[in-house]
Amino acid sequence: MKGKFKGKISVLIILLVSIGLGFFTYVIIKDQQSINEDVLKYLEQEGVDIEEDIEDLEILNIGEDDRKLAVVVIYKEEPETAYVYTHDDHGDIYEYDQMPNTGE
């Protein structure tokens, strides 16, 4: 009887951990999709032709202790420069930084 109870507790713990990890993964993916969409919308409003002008996009975390997502954009006409866009404190997209594109 005691062994069956331990088995049920183990299954319950595994189930709860799996649900927690699944939810955490869902939130991360949703946040990544959101910032990607926001940056693309911002760039289009700035006159960028997404299909013609952009070579590459990459989402990364620029926060040190806190999670702060950004999108790194490489333009076809300036492949040597990486432009970093993120949300400001009000939720608006802005150009956070420019840096040399090392291709990494």
Domain map of the chain by residue range? 2-100
**Residue 44 φ/ψ, nearest 5 degrees:** -60, -40
Element (H, E) at 92: none
pTM: 0.79
The pLDDT score that the predictor gives to residue 8 is 84
- Beta-carbon contacts of 59 under 8 Å, excluding residues fewer than 6 positions away, are 32, 35, 36, 69, 70, 71, 72
- pLDDT in 10s for each residue of the chain, 104 residues: 456 777 788 888 999 999 999 998 888 899 999 999 999 999 999 999 999 999 999 999 998 888 899 999 999 999 999 999 999 999 999 999 999 998 76
